[in-house]
Chains A and B, each alone.
Chain A
Amino acid sequence: MNVETILFYFFAASVVFSALRVITARNPLHSVMFLVLAFVSSAGIWMLLEAEFLAIALVLVYVGAVMVLFLFVVMMLDINIEKLRKDFLQWLPAGALLATLIVVQMTWVLGDKSNSAGMTAVKHAADYSNTKELGRLIYTDYVYPFELAAVLLLVAMVAAIALTFRRRRDSKRQDVSWQVNVKRNDRVRIISMPATKKNEASGADEAHAAD
């Protein structure tokens, strides 16, 4: 067994273990952390396939951004774990069926022996850049599907904002440009008052003290 095979089994075991812990961990926050571990382990497997761009992008996008927001939400929720776990057995058959279906499909596709010639890993030269290759394919051969996917994401983003955005009437929002453009004369008025005579003022003070 060479180093790569050992690494592959290490990462694969890590993915399976952490995926299992995602659904069995009692604390939702631990589930999220195990999901992070699952992502990082699968990034490791992609790295072994010389797909370093995809591997790092997976860590950057999912671990670095998406899961942070997940963690954010889970941390702030007041979750009653007992209540959540009550229906676990009731939904188990449905979940198991779905999982089996996925496993069957995956074995069907990946285990197809007639196709195996095209699937043996090809080792590339040291100067092979996965990033460059991916960029070339995306922006030449697959430019229309790629742009379509981008537009789809944009539509989804606009829709999400349009659905959740509401302007609150009682919100005390500030107009920053107005705040920045304030001049001194808008805030402070300097008035000139005639000076009072000194002895008059002290005389008044004495009268006050005598009271």
Chain B
Amino acid sequence: MMELLQTVHQMGEGLLGAAWLPVWTAVKILAIVLPIMGGVAYYTLAERKVLGFMQVRPGPNRVGYWGLLQPVADGIKLLLKEFIIPSGANKFLFLAAPVMALTPALAAWAVIPFFEGGALANVNAGLLFLLAMTSLGVYGIIIAGWASNSKYAFLGALRSAAQIVSYELAMGFALVCVLLAAQSMNMGEIVEHQQSNYGLFGWYWIPLFPMFVVYFLAGVAETNRAPFDLAEDESAIVAGFHTEYSGMGFALFFLAEYANMILIAALTVVFFLGGYLNPFHGWGALGELTDQVPGLFWMLAKMSIFLFLFLWLRATFPRYRYDQLMRLGWKVFIPLTLIWVVVVAAWMQTSLWVW
């Protein structure tokens, strides 16, 4: 895979000279963003199908075979719908909010390694960059709620902002454990550091198991998904911060939410499940056979576990009450992560640390 990319890169450099770098970067960005957009579209279909099967009904099955064209139909519908700007809304911020929600959700993908050396930007402080990008996503929501000039949207925005700021702390401390263990903030190095001859037992999900759970659950809360979807609590505040949005404005929020979910799945895999590493590496003949499988496959396979988990949680659990949500974040997750930082730091000084 890398050799092929190298040949293309060298050919282009010979052809275009200095102008090649922006073109090549744009091609790489498209190669990341387009599959994400396609993934988002079909993830919505998967969500409706999975929820359907869990509730013993077929789910969407009318547009195309097995409903496979349903996302296309939904997309066309949202594109053609009228975009209504409510009276008394702050027009500029109302229009800017969906963009502010989607931009960081896509920008964060720049540092994710999809296969060995396969990240758009090999940033030294990649983990920090990710935290910064995920924390910027809240602006879209909070601005949307304020600019809509609607009580429901405003309440939704306040809930969402408080929730995201609270859970970001737990997420940050969980990642402190990861960077302690990997001794690096570079995403590629974090993955490489989990490589061992024990396959999946060499990954960080074992020594950092509580952080693994906390990180994923905080990720569910951070993306405002069930059972933590208080920001768009239909039974209480209509649709929360995007109550007043129609057509493409709503679609952009939708895209941002799903892109964020896929991002959280990818991050959990990179930090705790060895990213693109082969889970059977070093297991005799099985390990040698599966080493032939490209890393991208392992990455996507592991991501789909967490993507399914998102849907499973949504189908299984009732919604949290807001004070319970805050308690879980501040009184359970944050103390747990703080303690585990100390435990890992002490553990690493002993000979018992084998990761």
Find the B residue at minimum CB distance from A63.
B136
Q: Is the CB of A56 within 8 A of B135?
A: no
Which among B124, B135, B158, B324 has the highest number of chain A CB atoms within 10 Å?
A: B124
Partner of B135, one of A65, A72, A130: A65
Closest chain-A Cβ to B222's Cβ sits at a distance in Å of 12
Partner of A60, one of B90, B131, B165, B324: B131
Q: Is the CB of A65 within 8 A of B129?
A: no
Q: Is the CB of B161 within 8 A of A68?
A: yes
User: How far is it, in angstroms, between the C-alpha of A63 and the C-alpha of B138 when the chains are bound?
Assistant: 10
A64-B142 contact given A56-B125, A129-B124, A176-B327, CB 8 Å threshold: no
Q: Is the CB of A72 within 8 A of B128?
A: no
Partner of A72, one of B132, B142, B323, B324: B142
Partner of A68, one of B131, B138, B323: B138
Q: Is the CB of A56 within 8 A of B128?
A: yes
Closest chain-A Cβ to B267's Cβ sits at a distance in Å of 15
Q: Is the CB of B146 within 8 A of A75?
A: yes
Taking CB atoms and an 8 Å cut-off, the chain B residues in 170-215 that contact chain A are 185
User: How far is it, in angstroms, between the C-alpha of A52 and the C-alpha of B125 when the chains are bound?
Assistant: 7
The reply to whether the CB of B110 lies closer than 8 angstroms to some CB of chain A is: no
Size of chain A's interface in residues, with CB distance under 8 A?
24
Interface SS, B side: helix
**Which B residues lie within 8 Å of A129 (CB)?**
124
Closest chain-A Cβ to B269's Cβ sits at a distance in Å of 22
User: How far is it, in angstroms, between the C-alpha of A29 and the C-alpha of B154 when the chains are bound?
Assistant: 14
**Which A residues lie within 8 Å of B185 (CB)?**
131
Q: Is the CB of A57 within 8 A of B128?
A: yes
Q: Is the CB of A72 within 8 A of B131?
A: no
Taking CB atoms and an 8 Å cut-off, the chain B residues in 268-323 that contact chain A are 323
User: How far is it, in angstroms, between the C-alpha of A75 and the C-alpha of B90 when the chains are bound?
Assistant: 13
Q: Is the CB of B135 within 8 A of A60?
A: yes
**Which A residues lie within 8 Å of B142 (CB)?**
68, 71-72, 75
**Which A residues lie within 8 Å of B154 (CB)?**
75
Q: Is the CB of A65 within 8 A of B168?
A: yes
User: How far is it, in angstroms, between the C-alpha of A63 and the C-alpha of B131 when the chains are bound?
Assistant: 12
The reply to whether the CB of A2 lies closer than 8 angstroms to some CB of chain B is: no
Q: Is the CB of A64 within 8 A of B132?
A: yes
**Which A residues lie within 8 Å of B157 (CB)?**
75
User: How far is it, in angstroms, between the C-alpha of A71 and the C-alpha of B185 when the chains are bound?
Assistant: 30
User: How far is it, in angstroms, between the C-alpha of A86 and the C-alpha of B135 when the chains are bound?
Assistant: 36
User: How far is it, in angstroms, between the C-alpha of A75 and the C-alpha of B138 when the chains are bound?
Assistant: 14
The reply to whether the CB of A53 lies closer than 8 angstroms to some CB of chain B is: yes
Q: Is the CB of A176 within 8 A of B125?
A: no
User: How far is it, in angstroms, between the C-alpha of A74 and the C-alpha of B146 when the chains are bound?
Assistant: 11
Q: Is the CB of A59 within 8 A of B132?
A: yes
Per-residue interface assignment for chain B, residues 103 to 125, with 1 indicating a CB less than 8 Å from any chain A CB and 0 otherwise? 00000000000000000000111
CB-based closest 10 A-B pairs: A64-B135, A60-B132, A59-B132, A56-B128, A129-B124, A75-B146, A56-B132, A131-B125, A52-B125, A53-B125
**A-B contact list, 28 entries, CB within 8 Å:** A27-B90, A29-B90, A33-B143, A52-B123, A53-B128, A56-B128, A56-B129, A56-B132, A60-B128, A60-B132, A63-B132, A63-B136, A64-B135, A64-B138, A64-B168, A65-B168, A68-B161, A71-B146, A72-B158, A72-B161, A75-B157, A129-B124, A130-B124, A130-B125, A131-B124, A131-B185, A174-B323, A176-B327
